[in-house]
């Protein structure tokens, strides 16, 4: 049984005391930084998703969610603009920067489909008017991504296979490394506060 089911939930228990399976995130977000082009492209894909997600979430029937969306949209707009500029710069830059961005595109594209496939808990939130209909924002996301990649003189990959599982707690090997680093102090010194 999960630790969280038996204890009071706090920011610390959510971040430091959950197991890998208890994290429900898109696989795209756990891909390692590595090459600068890969880091930038991952940021661009996710910021673009967040932009359309928060734009729609402003209509949530829960005023707290709507307010959070308004506040988040300002920050995400900056990240989207910044990462878009870098994608264009790298794609339409030197031969080396273009090559690196092309490799990143081939590696990361398969992780973008999961963004728009709602997990059961996302469907439940939507049924109560609290969240966003993810398939409905996919077209806007794809249009924006294609525009930026076209400016970067790149095409979308032909590969249509999409990875999934992160939203239901099934992760890539990278998640273990992230949690190991993030949870080290709490697991080494249980109950420590900082």
d(CA 104, CA 161): 16
Q: Which of 128, 142, 113, 158 is nearest to 52 (CA)?
A: 142
- What is the pTM for the complete model shown? 0.90
H-state helical runs in 58-133: 63-91, 95-108, 120-127
Residue 28 contacts residue 111 (beta carbons within 8 Å): yes
By C-alpha distance, which of 31, 32, 15 is closest to 184? 15
Q: Is 129 left (phi over 0), alpha (psi -120 to 50) or beta?
A: left
Mind giving me the DSSP string for 15-70?
Answer: HHS--GGG----GGGGS---SHHHHHHHHHHHHHHHHHHHHHHTT-SSHHHHHHHH
Q: Which residues contact 155 (CB under 8 A, 6 or more apart)?
A: 149
The model's pLDDT over 117-127, given as tens digits with 9 standing for 90+, comes to: 999 999 999 99
Q: What is the pLDDT of residues 41-54, one digit of tens each?
A: 999 999 999 999 99
pLDDT in tens, 33-88: 889 999 999 999 999 999 999 999 999 999 999 999 999 999 999 999 999 999 99
């Amino acid at each position: 049984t999960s630790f969280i089911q038996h204890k009071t939930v706090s920011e610390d228990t959510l971040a430091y005391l959950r197991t890998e399976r208890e994290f429900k995130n898109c696989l795209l977000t756990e891909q390692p930084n590595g090459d600068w082009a890969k880091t930038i492209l991952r940021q661009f894909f996710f910021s673009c998703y967040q932009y359309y997600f928060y734009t729609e979430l402003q209509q949530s029937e829960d005023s707290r969610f709507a307010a959070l969306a308004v506040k988040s949209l300002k920050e995400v707009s900056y990240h989207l603009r910044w990462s878009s500029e870098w994608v264009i710069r790298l794609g339409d830059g030197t031969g080396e920067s273009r090559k690196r961005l092309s490799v990143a595109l081939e590696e990361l594209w398969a992780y973008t489909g999961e963004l728009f496939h709602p997990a059961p808990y996302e469907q439940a939130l939507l049924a109560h008017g609290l969240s966003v209909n993810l398939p409905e924002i996919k077209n806007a996301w794809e249009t924006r991504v294609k525009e930026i990649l076209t400016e970067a003189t790149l095409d979308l990959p032909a590969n249509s296979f999409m990875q999934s599982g992160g939203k239901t707690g099934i992760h890539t090997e990278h998640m273990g490394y992230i949690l190991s680093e993030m949870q080290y102090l709490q697991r080494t010194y249980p109950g420590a506060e900082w």
